[in-house]
Amino acid sequence: MKTLVWLRNDLRMDDNPALREACKLSEEVHSIYIYSKNQNNKHNDANCKIDFFIENLKDLTKSLSKVNIPLTVINSDGFNDNPEIIKQYIELNSIDKIFWNNQFGEDEIKRDESVKDLIQNLNNIEIKTFDEQVVFEPGSILTGEGKPYSVFTPFKRKWIENFTLDMLDIEFKYTEKQSTKIKSNINEFDFDFHKTHSVDMSLWPIGEHEAQMRLHSYLDKNIFKYAQDRNDPIIDGTSRLSAYLASGIISPKRCILEALKLNNFELDSGEKGIVKWIDEIIWRE
């Protein structure tokens, strides 16, 4: 069986449910990333953000290659041509299944529905999607009237009521997959990108390994004072993980799990700094 993993805003192997499930079920796994300069422009993405994303995509390619998973970057004019791009890849490489992790933007939801509509017309292609940006699927934590919460505190209370520790069962050891005839093309791919920003990128080292190191360094040192230091711009009191979370280089589940380990797995009591920091991760939902 061959499974294709469509990578989007999830540039990591750790806690990547689409990639993990593909590796569990299939002997041969492919991955693709569809790159669109036009889409970057449409979203007004900053030059430094694109630079950070491309470099992390390159780093992920190296990690995937260690377990024989090729990553193919494909150029696109925009979301509208994604269905046909994926259809062609599936047919050309005799793919049996396609997995991806959900995105929740309006345009992204429409794009994914268009892909599903086209792929479902192909013979016996299994489509499976996962939630990796959140612990709970959007719209699943609601008030007693069935409406979304507008105030964080009752939302958090309901979140905790519904939370179980097995939701953070994310550990997985990757093993080598069957080699494929496909070779990663990222070194030859023309991103048509020119670095024009003056941001010191050494402040945000590239790769999920660096993101994990940053997380553990923060948990070892500063998280205990987070509640009192987080709003003081003079003090280096925050985790500086926002860029990694935004690009999917580290997952919110990983952040919550590692923080809970420090707090005897308590979500609403214990160390105030840890509780407040976990609150900020929950607030993203």
Residue 184 maps to a domain: no
Verify that 125 and 151 share a domain, yes or no: no
Residue 90 sits in a domain of what CATH number?
A: 3.40.50.620
Verify that 244 and 120 share a domain, yes or no: no
Within the chain, how many helices (H) and strands (E) appear? Answer: 11, 5
Tell me phi and psi for residue 28, to 5 degrees: -125, 125
User: What sections of the chain are H helices per DSSP?
Assistant: 17-25, 37-42, 47-65, 82-92, 106-119, 152-162, 208-221, 226-229, 242-246, 252-262, 272-283
Tell me phi and psi for residue 32, to 5 degrees: -135, 155
Q: Which of 132, 149, 165 is the last residue of a domain?
A: 132
Residue 161 CB burial class (10 angstroms; 0-12, 13-18, ≥19): exposed
Q: Which of 132, 166, 189 is the last residue of a domain?
A: 132
**Regions of the chain short of the pLDDT cut 50:** 234
* Total domains, the chain: 2
Query: Residue 158 is part of which domain span?
Result: 134-175+200-285
User: What sections of 167-224 are H helices per DSSP?
Assistant: 208-221
Verify that 72 and 102 share a domain, yes or no: yes
pTM of the shown model? 0.93
Verify that 44 and 142 share a domain, yes or no: no
Residue 194 maps to a domain: no
Q: Which of 132, 160, 186 is the last residue of a domain?
A: 132
Provide the pairing of β-strand 2-7 with 97-101: parallel
CA dist., res. 206 & res. 211, Å (int): 8
Cβ–Cβ < 8 Å for 155, 127:
no
Verify that 167 and 274 share a domain, yes or no: yes
Verify that 204 and 283 share a domain, yes or no: yes
Please give the C-alpha separations between residue 57 and each of 119, 170, 189, 206, 233, in angstroms, as whole numbers: 25, 22, 12, 9, 31
pLDDT at residue number 235: 54
pLDDT at residue number 200: 84
Residue 222 maps to a domain: yes
pLDDT at residue number 234: 45
Verify that 107 and 141 share a domain, yes or no: no
Query: Which residues neighbour 48 within 8 Å (Cβ) at sequence distance 6 or greater?
Result: 197, 199, 201
Verify that 32 and 5 share a domain, yes or no: yes
Verify that 95 and 227 share a domain, yes or no: no
Residue 189 maps to a domain: no
Residue 191 maps to a domain: no
Verify that 143 and 284 share a domain, yes or no: yes
Verify that 158 and 268 share a domain, yes or no: yes
Residue 180 maps to a domain: no
Residue 210 CB burial class (10 angstroms; 0-12, 13-18, ≥19): middle
Residue 271 sits in a domain of what CATH number?
A: 1.25.40.80
Residue 193 maps to a domain: no
Residue 185 maps to a domain: no
> Could you report how far apart the first and last alpha carbons of the chain are, in Å?
35
